[in-house]
Amino acid sequence: MRVLGIDPGSETLGWGVVEGLGSRYELVGFGTVKSSPKQQFSKRLLNIYNGVAEIMAEHSPDILAVEDTFYAVNVGVALKLGQVRGLMLLLAEQRGLEIAEYAPRLVKQTVVGYGNAEKHQVQEMVKVLLRMKAVPTPHDAADALAAAICHFHHAGLRGKLAAQANDSRI
């Protein structure tokens, strides 16, 4: 199974691809899609769409793991992030990918063990879990990799629970 993790952002969107099975996984690639804040928002959305479409074409993921919305003090920022998330969901649906959404606190809890972990803590744990030589930078890419790792842990748990439910019916 190949998972594309996304940390939505209208100026810097983080992405990371992780491959594996269950709780065993390895790094495939990571990076960012950058857009200029000087551009019209619609042009930034097009840039993000095209950039992530290229990543999907290159890495052929099976699943999109994306950070769910969070409460922001600035309503405008929250709306823009929601629009970027919508683009990611659209891209995944167009390509027939399974979609998994995780709250940012759950991603941090899963990867670091603490739901209020700071960016550098997430980067360090992603480095350890993916056996990287250096922390993934920028933090947007590390957050995307963390979302993908989170999916491996929670998808494995869902599978075990489903199997257990089927066994109990017999």
For the segment 131-166, what is each residue's pLDDT rounded down to a tens digit?
Answer: 999 999 999 999 999 999 999 988 865 554 444 555
- The DSSP symbol for 10 reads S
Which among 151, 133, 149, 152 is positioned nearest to 141, based on CA atoms?
Answer: 149
138 upstream amide cis, omega within 30 of 0: yes
Q: Give residue 32's Cα distance to chain centre.
A: 12
CA angle 32, 36, 41 (to 5 degrees): 105
Instruction: For domain 2-169, say whether CATH 2.40.10.340 is its number.
Output: no
Answer yes or no: 68 catalytic: no
Answer yes or no: 7 catalytic: yes
pLDDT of residue 152: 92
For the segment 89-127, what is each residue's pLDDT rounded down to a tens digit?
Answer: 999 999 999 999 999 999 999 999 998 899 999 999 999
The catalytic position among 68, 140, 143, 167 is 140
In sequence order, what are the residues at sequence separation of 6 or more whose Cβ sits closer than 8 angstroms to the Cβ of residue 98? 62, 63, 64, 92
Integer CA distances (angstroms), 139 to 32, 116, 166, in order: 10, 15, 40
